[in-house]
Chains A and B, each alone.
Chain A
Amino acid sequence: MLSVHQLSVRFTSYETGLKKKETLVTSDLELAVEKGQVVAVAGSSGSGKSLLAHAILGILPGNARVSGEIMFKGTPVTPKRQIKIRGKEMALIPQSIGCLDPLMRIGKQITRAGILSGIEKNKVRVTNILRRYGLPDHTANMFPFQLSGGMARRVLLATATVGKADLIIADEPIHGLHEEVASDILSHLRELADQGKAILLITHDLSRSLLIADKVVVFYAGTTVEEASATAFSGEGKNLHHPYSRALWQALPQNGFFPVSGTQPVLDHLPEGCVFAPRCDKTKFICKIKRPPVMPTDGGFVRCFHA
């Protein structure tokens, strides 16, 4: 359905006077989602995960430059095609309630999303979709500020699924939610995948995303370091190939809470070699001078010399 190859995003900005500055915010992303799959993109905050969603949809700010290749349904995604397919064939579930128009009633916002996705105005079934996500009918008459956090997420879910989009990109859909609401939202996402949609789940919550994901793509410092099947995240993480994936797994409370020492590098001061080298306990000379290439593994790929 969707594959991303060597995707990099740069921001250009002007410092004082004439100095032009270019910041590389994500580099060499690799990723693939198939029909019926939930692929989780996991990594700590500040690793550039949301930019990935915006790059796929073509809604990055004007000073961003994108390079690399995005394929959707077998054909390359160009800016022109993005305008045609966003909202219709691919839909976004954004992270915050601030993404809803504060002065428009919920029902109208869902209807508008439906119309934009290509459904005729009188055929948008707002009540049906509200009920599907367990929202009372009168939600349609409410304004965003009247919604609770959980309701808002369900409404965002409704706006993305009222149409017939085949790919749904969920950007931190369960961030800050109670356990119960979060697992409900997740099960809805799983259900959508089982109905044949492809779901890209962007989250920093590895343990929760494992509940529904088929594959996990691990993000670190603006790049993808490993793609592994969800089953690899088990036990002590022996089936994981990248040291960072293992560290991420072991840092979870149920797995011993082992923290990784050091901090993620700032994006405009990335190390020359492997981005994880400064924090890795297996660092050798080659890790410091050369970016490791993408190497296939049994469940996906890894970007490490030691795998």
Chain B
Amino acid sequence: MIRQLLVKKVTHLASIVLSISVISFMLVSVSPIDPVRAYIGADMLAISRAQKEKIEERWGINEPMHVRYVKWFTELLHGNLGHSFIFNQKVTKVISTRFATSLWLMAAAWVISGMLGFVMGIVSGVMHGTFVDKLIRFYAYMLASTPTFWMGMLLLICFSMWLGWTPICCATPPGILLENVTFGQRIYHLILPAATLSIIGIANITLHTRQKLIDVLQSDFILFAISQGETIWGATRHHGIRNIILPAITIQFASFSELFGGSLLAETVFAYPGLGQATVLAGLKSDVPLLLGIVLFSVFFVFTGNTIADLIYTLVDPRIKAGAPK
């Protein structure tokens, strides 16, 4: 059964990547932004018409769209996403180094928001109707609509400007070579961006966990546990958590899309040189190969999260696991 599922998933991924690649290629092609002008920038006046045409010819800009697409896609199948002119590196190289930097940030935010949100959801669910519950719900309700970048700015003002506890920007201290950066320095630069993404990310998982727990606490087996002498917290600890942890983990994996989007904003605020910032730069400076590369990578990233979310039940839930032939 698991093999069947994997085959289905891979086919699904292939169909999505193919469709998204066509759509995004069409989108960047209809853009009125002149890629050569974007590349040359202010020096546009300095180059002659002939020189411009030469560049256009080399980039194949005047060929029909489908021809360019097939060329690009063939290269893609060979693992070549083209050359990013703003970083003057291969797109694959840019994505891999930038993603490695972002991964620190996203992983930290993902774990922290998941754990805190789960705990807060449980407290809120067990105590539902009380003042504590109302407070937690209000927090989640407000945070769910707070712009990520604004939250980042508030933290920046508070902790970096006023208190001076945290750095103002970047992933590493300025003027230090990357290989000399210590683990501590990395963490130090990670605190605020990760806190920003966590604070925003908590809302969803908290509200979800709370609702699930309230539902579970109303089930017959909790009532039976209470009749056996269990307290409400005891029943939550021994039976509640067991029954809500899978859905919570699933929700958290399914949130990769928001995590990626959030990293765009947080990395812009903190000038954190990750993939999110690269996305913004690629869009702003019209680096088409990089933009297309990142689009495909983000599809892959979101797909990974969703697939894990789907598979968790099959792999962990005994009710489904037992249904599978050995």
- Interface set of A (CB-CB < 8 Å, partner B): 57, 59, 83, 86-88, 91-92, 94, 96, 98-104, 112-113, 116-117, 143, 145-146, 159
B16 to chain A, nearest CB (A): 33
B240 to chain A, nearest CB (A): 9
Q: In the assembled complex, which residues on chain B have CB atoms less than 8 Å from the CB atom of A98?
A: 219-221
Q: In the assembled complex, which residues on chain B have CB atoms less than 8 Å from the CB atom of A104?
A: 238-239, 242
For B221, B228, B239, which residue has the most chain A Cβ atoms within 10 angstroms? B228
Question: Complex: how many Å from CA A102 to CA B231?
Answer: 19
Check if A59 sits within 8 Å of B223, measured CB to CB.
yes
Check if B229 sits within 8 Å of A145, measured CB to CB.
no
Question: Complex: how many Å from CA A146 to CA B242?
Answer: 18
Check if A100 sits within 8 Å of B221, measured CB to CB.
yes
Chain B at the A interface: SS class: helix
**Hey, what's the 0/1 contact readout for B193-225 against A, CB within 8 Å counting as 1?**
000000000000000000000000001110111
Q: In the assembled complex, which residues on chain A have CB atoms less than 8 Å from the CB atom of B239?
A: 101, 104
B306 close to A (CB within 8 Å): no
Q: In B86-141, which residues have CB < 8 Å from any A CB?
A: none
Check if B227 sits within 8 Å of A112, measured CB to CB.
no
B1 close to A (CB within 8 Å): no
Could you jot down 9 A-B contacts, CB within 8 Å? A59-B223, A88-B229, A92-B228, A94-B220, A98-B220, A99-B220, A103-B242, A117-B229, A143-B318
Q: In the assembled complex, which residues on chain A have CB atoms less than 8 Å from the CB atom of B242?
A: 101, 103-104
Given A99-B221, A102-B221, A103-B242; A86-B318 close (CB under 8 Å): no
- Interface set of B (CB-CB < 8 Å, partner A): 219-221, 223-231, 238-239, 242-243, 317-319, 322
Among B219, B220, B223, B228, contact of A87 (Cβ-Cβ < 8 Å): B228
Check if B227 sits within 8 Å of A92, measured CB to CB.
yes
Closest to A105 in B: B318
Closest to A159 in B: B228
For A86, A94, A98, A116, which residue has the most chain B Cβ atoms within 10 angstroms? A116
Closest to B240 in A: A101
Check if B229 sits within 8 Å of A103, measured CB to CB.
no
B317 to chain A, nearest CB (A): 8
Check if B220 sits within 8 Å of A101, measured CB to CB.
no
Among A86, A101, A145, contact of B227 (Cβ-Cβ < 8 Å): A86
Check if B223 sits within 8 Å of A112, measured CB to CB.
no
A145 to chain B, nearest CB (A): 5
Check if A103 sits within 8 Å of B318, measured CB to CB.
yes
A137 to chain B, nearest CB (A): 19
Given A143-B319, A146-B322; A101-B225 close (CB under 8 Å): yes
Closest to A116 in B: B229
Given contacts A86-B226, A99-B221, A116-B228, 19 further A-B contacts (CB under 8 A): A59-B226, A83-B231, A87-B228, A88-B229, A92-B227, A92-B228, A100-B221, A101-B221, A102-B221, A102-B243, A102-B319, A103-B242, A104-B238, A104-B242, A112-B225, A117-B229, A145-B318, A145-B322, A146-B322
